[in-house]
Amino acid sequence: MVVGVRHAAVWNPEGVVYARLPGFHLSESGRAEAQQLSRDLSPVGVASIQASPLERAVETARILAEPHGLDVVFDERLLEWSFWSHWEGLPWTRIRERDPELLEGYASDPASAWPQDPLEAAGARVLAWAADAERAFPEGQVLGVTHEAPLVAAYLLGSGRSLATYHATNLPHLGTVRLRPGPVEIVDLPEWAARSC
């Protein structure tokens, strides 16, 4: 089984769009939640843990990998959607005044908001990663730590839903999506781990 995991909560006292910026680490509560998920998954046979190269994903992945004695493998396909990089470093409160049209486009049609790297492409990269991970580890569980936008897009594409429902799909920190084998669906990973052991 290949599961996408949204990284744990980040410490961001300035309230800025961190997008792909370095230097944004897990908050204390995010670290504690990742450690709890790690304990929940410790009895499960995890074959590989892979992650976006951004610090928040790497830190989450390392916590999840620890009980299994695994090294984290980095994969650029799990990287945050580049749309957010347009505003990185800017306080969330200033986005509307800087780019009201772009923000309105994102609100009304996220799939078309960023033609340079469409939301569909971000989701397709995660799905391609999952297919490769399943081929590489056909018998083990693979966890891929990524970000909300690409994981939600992968969930919608993989389950045959429209990207128009992107804003209505909530995936909290450490939310998980089973990507392979299908059907693609949001899962409660600790509950699944408890049933599997």
Note down the domain range covering 56.
2-196
**CATH code: domain of residue 32:** 3.40.50.1240
pLDDT 10s digits, 160-173: 999 999 999 999 99
The three-state secondary structure class of 146 is strand
The stretch 68-73 carries a mean pLDDT of 95
The stretch 110-127 carries a mean pLDDT of 96
What pLDDT does residue 195 have? 72
Rounded to the nearest 5 percent, the helix, strand and coil shares of the chain are 50, 15, 35
pLDDT 10s digits, 21-68: 898 999 999 999 999 999 998 888 899 999 999 999 999 999 999 999
Q: What is the mean pLDDT of the chain?
A: 93
Q: Is the previous residue joined to 110 through a cis bond, with omega within 30 degrees of 0? A: no
- The answer to whether 24 and 89 are in contact (CB under 8 A) is no
- The answer to whether 109 and 164 are in contact (CB under 8 A) is yes
- The answer to whether 83 and 117 are in contact (CB under 8 A) is yes
The three-state secondary structure class of 31 is helix
The region, left, alpha or beta by phi > 0 then psi within -120 to 50, assigned to residue 147 is beta
User: Per the structure, how many domains does the chain have?
Assistant: 1
What pLDDT does residue 196 have? 66
Written as six digits, the tokens of 109 are 């049609």
Could you tell me where the DSSP H helices lie in the chain? 28-41, 55-65, 95-98, 100-108, 119-136, 148-158, 189-196
* Share above pLDDT 90 across residues of the chain, in percent, rounded to a whole number: 79
Written as six digits, the tokens of 160 are 């045959």
What pLDDT does residue 140 have? 85
Taking CA atoms, 10 is separated from 62, 68, 112, in Å, by 15, 24, 28
pLDDT at 12 over 90: no
What pLDDT does residue 188 have? 86
The three-state secondary structure class of 161 is coil
The stretch 138-166 carries a mean pLDDT of 95
- The answer to whether 4 and 159 are in contact (CB under 8 A) is no
